[in-house]
A and B are shown apart, each in its own frame.
Chain A
Amino acid sequence: MDAGLALSTVIAAMLGGAIRVTTPFLFVALGEMLTERSGRINLGLEGTLVLGAMTAYAFSYGTGSPWIGVLAAGCFGFLMGTLHATICRLPGVNDIAVGIALMLFGTGVAFFFGKPYIQPTAPRLPSISLGAWTGDPRFEQALQINPLFLIGIALAIFLAWALKNTRMGLVLRVTGDSEAAARALGHPVMLIRLLATAVGGFFAGVGGAFLSLYYPGSWNEGLSSGQGLMAVALVIFARWDPIRCLYAALLFGAAGALGPALQSIGVTQGYYFFNAAPYILTLFLMIGSAGSKKALRDAPGELSLTR
């Protein structure tokens, strides 16, 4: 295989991979961003993601409609978020500890109820073909786009707009930045955080639905490989901005696609190493952004991370 062809194959595979792998990152990151902008961290989104994947698969199998599965995943995510926020409002409770507990709870529940769904095949989400114009089958395949990806992009743009131009967006930012100010203005701080965490959970659940209903597209216990946790790192890297969350998710997605892409042109050396690219990227981004004092400046003031 000549070098030019190999390169374009890798690029096509990485592009396709990025688009496929990005979606769950994007949804979880947007959910986490929303929660953190209200002044709370929800580390439990990993559990929500897995639970979302399981419920989406189960409902899709049960009803025959993958979209009902997506909705069900979102609703279970909403419930998980509500649970997190409800526990966190008790006095003296640490949101990070609750998050870890709920992460284990979510995956545990998903594995327990998900056992019967490992074998059967559920209807999967359709995809939209956007690559016909390229005339190149590799790019055509890469540009098979899932509607959820487009919804995710629209959601990121909508959230960026809403945080600046709606009253709710401003109130959310007030709550996340200064609890005292929010109280002085008479806003119900706990209720706002509850809603932000619950809606954040909804997004993460939808992200999970993508995992089981589109890519990889089946339900098993090894489905999520820590995307929910990596999304937390991604939010810090994106400095709590929805549009930057989108870019960061694409970057993580591309890193995740590196291993399979290289495999597609026959580079098998260091396959596991390249598969670990997103984790390595997370590590370096964490080191980089922890050292960046600029990131700290953009952090919501009420976050237990920054206090």
Chain B
Amino acid sequence: MTGERRAIGLEAVKMRKVFGGLVALDDVSLKVPAGTFHALLGENGAGKSTLVKCIMGFYKPDGGQVLVDGRQSAIANPREAAEAGIGMVYQHFTLVPSLTGAENLVVSRPRGRQIIDWKAEHAALEEFLARMPFRAPLDKPVHMLSAGEKQKLEILKQLFLDQRFIILDEPTSVLTPDEADEVLGLLRGMTKRGDVTVLMITHKFREVQAFADDLTVLRKGGYAGAGKVAETPVDAMAKMMIGDTQIRERAARVAQKDAPVTLDIAGVCADADDGRVAIDGINLKIHAGEIVGIAGVSGNGQSALVEVLSGQRPMREGQLTIKGSDFIPSRQSMAKYKVFGLPEEPLKNAAVPNMTVAENIAFRTFDQPPIATLGWWLSAGPMRKRAQELIARYRVKTPSADAPIAALSGGNVQRAVLARELSGEVDVLIVANPCFGLDFASVEEIRAQIMDQRNRGAAVLLVSEDLDEILSLSDRVAVMSEGKIAYVEEIAKTDRATIGHHMAGHGH
């Protein structure tokens, strides 16, 4: 397993995949010459994952063929892909958390001795790392590594297995901007030297422009365009991705002056499920008519903060105050102080999948008139009527108000939750990764709704892993790192690089 093997080229010709009646991939072709860095762009659901899964042998394509270095290859499963030199780094890590880095590398090898000679293995691994442009710690269990280290280890694993065509599925979604630039820069160097070929699935134009040679764009399962990155401006990429979908205009930001503090988070500490400290002394004041964006690499306590604010996680220390009075997150006080929320993964965190859309929309109001009489006798009529109004107003696409909410698409579940949370008066709005996994039209719709609430005077806490979302929506940005607020600044006085440094935990 020395570096004798060189980069390999790959071509997919007229790939087709049909699930049931749905054409997920419609005669898509893709050409990646050896030693290039290729970006595969497209919205969620455009067919990018389906295409690479067909290449990797996870799915059996219904048509088309894959050429490896110009020769036709039948790849029936991931193991055969590995034998052909094609490896994939998944969005969700496939390292085993309780094993050390070295154990992960050794176990990933398809063949090996039954009894492991650790002394020899460690020596071989050291020798391998010495030839690599970057390293990762090998003696710690993987669950103790940072996301960046894990990502590097995933890539090292592919190189250790001598894979010379590496597919990366949204590799930077869990990295800080600096880590992302480092990892992609190193890979770029390796493609330039002809060591590997890279195919990267992404939706970040910035990364495409900075690192890729060529790009292919998919839209709704079909081929939408391809070209050299140097000759394709961002506008053209965006147009290829979105097509002529109508995008809702976002309301302008209304200037707010000397607004009072609405939500005051003072010295809040909470523990994670395994007893470790999740958040440690969070102080944050959010004014009426202000969006405070919380940036950070996922897993630095953002979700614990949201859970504390929505009453899902007990607060060990600290105090929450809304407009000067104590706030203990419970259903009653949330109604009293008009606290609403859009949690991440709404189907899991804000909806009961098997209950109907109407019932899900009524969660905030079902025990009040007109739906409830005497607080316990519920009438289906008013419930359905109100749901139908909101479904129309928020353009939720559902077969009927009585369909289970799990049958709706991601964007429509989020719209239904939005309808429930935002249809009344809102003083405090807590939002976490609201646009994760949604298509462009839904993303713009949801961001516009958040901006509307801000303009109407709500205090908005926006937790997001997408730095672009934070930069475009927030009035102020705070960075969370290792359970603490590492940095707070007005959006006009900061920039991506500064925020990125603080996300990585070396801002001082």
Q: How far is the CB of B157 from chain A (nearest CB, A)?
A: 10
Q: What 0/1 pattern do residues 413 to 453 of B give for CB contact below 8 A with A?
A: 00000000000000000000000000000000000000000
Interface Cβ pair total, 8 Å cutoff: 62
Q: What 0/1 pattern do residues 64 to 102 of B give for CB contact below 8 A with A?
A: 000000000000011100100000001010111111000
Taken together as a complex, chains A and B put the C-alpha atoms of A170 and B79 apart, in Å, by 19
Q: What 0/1 pattern do residues 122 to 158 of A give for CB contact below 8 A with B?
A: 0000000000000000000000000000000000000
Let me know if B275 and A293 touch, CB within 8 A: yes
Let me know if B77 and A181 touch, CB within 8 A: no
Which one of B1-9, B109-117, B211-219, B367-375 contacts A? B109-117
Let me know if A181 and B96 touch, CB within 8 A: yes
Let me know if B96 and A168 touch, CB within 8 A: no
Q: Which of A289-307 contact B (CB under 8 A)?
A: 293-294, 296-298, 300-301
Beyond A170-B107, A186-B110, A293-B273, whether A165 also contacts B98 by CB under 8 A is no
Beyond A174-B107, A185-B107, A293-B274, whether A165 also contacts B95 by CB under 8 A is no
Let me know if B94 and A181 touch, CB within 8 A: yes
Q: Is A1 at the interface (CB under 8 A from chain B)?
A: no
Let me know if B94 and A184 touch, CB within 8 A: yes
Q: Is A173 at the interface (CB under 8 A from chain B)?
A: yes
Q: Is B108 at the interface (CB under 8 A from chain A)?
A: yes
Q: Is B134 at the interface (CB under 8 A from chain A)?
A: no
Q: Give the nearest-CB partner of B82 in chain A.
A: A186
Let me know if B107 and A167 touch, CB within 8 A: yes
Let me know if A165 and B118 touch, CB within 8 A: yes
Let me know if B94 and A178 touch, CB within 8 A: yes
Q: Is B103 at the interface (CB under 8 A from chain A)?
A: yes
Taken together as a complex, chains A and B put the C-alpha atoms of A184 and B97 apart, in Å, by 15
Taken together as a complex, chains A and B put the C-alpha atoms of A173 and B95 apart, in Å, by 12
Q: Which of B116-138 contact A (CB under 8 A)?
A: 116, 118
Let me know if A167 and B94 touch, CB within 8 A: no
Q: Is A190 at the interface (CB under 8 A from chain B)?
A: no
A residues in contact with B114, CB < 8 Å: 166-168
Out of A165, A181, A297, name the residue touching B116 (CB < 8 Å).
Answer: A165
Q: Give the nearest-CB partner of B93 in chain A.
A: A181
Let me know if B116 and A173 touch, CB within 8 A: no
Taken together as a complex, chains A and B put the C-alpha atoms of A300 and B273 apart, in Å, by 16
Q: Is B106 at the interface (CB under 8 A from chain A)?
A: yes
Beyond A166-B115, A296-B273, whether A186 also contacts B77 by CB under 8 A is yes
Q: Is A83 at the interface (CB under 8 A from chain B)?
A: no
Q: What 0/1 pattern do residues 97 to 135 of A give for CB contact below 8 A with B?
A: 000000000000000000000000000000000000000
A residues in contact with B276, CB < 8 Å: 293
Q: Give the nearest-CB partner of A176 in chain B.
A: B98
Let me know if B275 and A294 touch, CB within 8 A: yes
Let me know if A297 and B115 touch, CB within 8 A: no
Let me know if B116 and A177 touch, CB within 8 A: no
Q: Give the nearest-CB partner of A170 in chain B.
A: B107
Q: How far is the CB of A48 from chain B (nearest CB, A)?
A: 27
Let me know if A170 and B275 touch, CB within 8 A: no
Taken together as a complex, chains A and B put the C-alpha atoms of A164 and B454 apart, in Å, by 55
Let me know if B94 and A186 touch, CB within 8 A: no
Q: How far is the CB of A287 from chain B (nearest CB, A)?
A: 16
Let me know if A171 and B275 touch, CB within 8 A: no
Let me know if B273 and A170 touch, CB within 8 A: no
Let me know if A177 and B94 touch, CB within 8 A: no
Taken together as a complex, chains A and B put the C-alpha atoms of A178 and B106 apart, in Å, by 16
Q: Give the nearest-CB partner of A184 in chain B.
A: B94
Q: Is A180 at the interface (CB under 8 A from chain B)?
A: yes
Let me know if A167 and B108 touch, CB within 8 A: no
Q: How far is the CB of B20 from chain A (nearest CB, A)?
A: 19
Q: Give the nearest-CB partner of B111 in chain A.
A: A167
Q: Give the nearest-CB partner of A291 in chain B.
A: B275
Out of B97, B112, B115, B273, name the residue touching A177 (CB < 8 Å).
Answer: B97
A residues in contact with B118, CB < 8 Å: 165
Q: How far is the CB of A195 from chain B (nearest CB, A)?
A: 14
Let me know if A173 and B98 touch, CB within 8 A: yes
Q: How far is the CB of B410 from chain A (nearest CB, A)?
A: 21
Taken together as a complex, chains A and B put the C-alpha atoms of A186 and B103 apart, in Å, by 16
Query: Counting chain A CB atoms within 10 Å of each CB, which of B78, B97, B98 scores highest?
Result: B98
Taken together as a complex, chains A and B put the C-alpha atoms of A294 and B275 apart, in Å, by 8
Let me know if B98 and A170 touch, CB within 8 A: no
Taken together as a complex, chains A and B put the C-alpha atoms of A297 and B112 apart, in Å, by 29
A residues in contact with B103, CB < 8 Å: 170, 173
Let me know if B273 and A301 touch, CB within 8 A: no
Let me know if B99 and A174 touch, CB within 8 A: yes
Let me know if A177 and B98 touch, CB within 8 A: yes
Beyond A165-B118, A167-B112, A170-B106, whether A301 also contacts B274 by CB under 8 A is no
Q: How far is the CB of B155 from chain A (nearest CB, A)?
A: 15
B residues in contact with A178, CB < 8 Å: 94, 96-97
Out of B77, B99, B113, name the residue touching A167 (CB < 8 Å).
Answer: B113
B residues in contact with A165, CB < 8 Å: 115-116, 118
Q: What 0/1 pattern do residues 21 to 37 of A give for CB contact below 8 A with B?
A: 00000000000000000
B residues in contact with A185, CB < 8 Å: 94, 107-108
Beyond A167-B107, A184-B78, A296-B274, whether A174 also contacts B96 by CB under 8 A is yes
Beyond A165-B118, A167-B107, whether A181 also contacts B275 by CB under 8 A is no
B residues in contact with A297, CB < 8 Å: 274
Let me know if A186 and B79 touch, CB within 8 A: yes
Q: How far is the CB of A175 from chain B (nearest CB, A)?
A: 9
Let me know if B116 and A166 touch, CB within 8 A: yes
Taken together as a complex, chains A and B put the C-alpha atoms of A167 and B106 apart, in Å, by 8
Q: How far is the CB of B437 from chain A (nearest CB, A)?
A: 18
B residues in contact with A168, CB < 8 Å: 114
Q: Give the nearest-CB partner of A293 in chain B.
A: B275
Q: Give the nearest-CB partner of B92 in chain A.
A: A180
Q: How far is the CB of B283 from chain A (nearest CB, A)?
A: 26
Chain A residues within CB distance 8 Å of chain B: 165-168, 170-171, 173-174, 177-178, 180-181, 184-186, 293-294, 296-298, 300-301
A-B residue pairs, 4 tightest by C-beta: A293-B275, A170-B107, A186-B79, A181-B94
Chain B residues within CB distance 8 Å of chain A: 77-79, 82, 90, 92, 94-99, 103, 106-108, 110, 112-116, 118, 273-276
What are 26 of the A-B contact pairs (CB < 8 Å)?
A165-B118, A166-B114, A166-B116, A167-B112, A167-B113, A171-B107, A173-B96, A173-B98, A174-B96, A174-B99, A174-B107, A177-B96, A178-B94, A181-B94, A181-B95, A184-B94, A185-B94, A186-B77, A186-B79, A186-B82, A293-B274, A293-B276, A294-B275, A296-B273, A296-B274, A301-B98
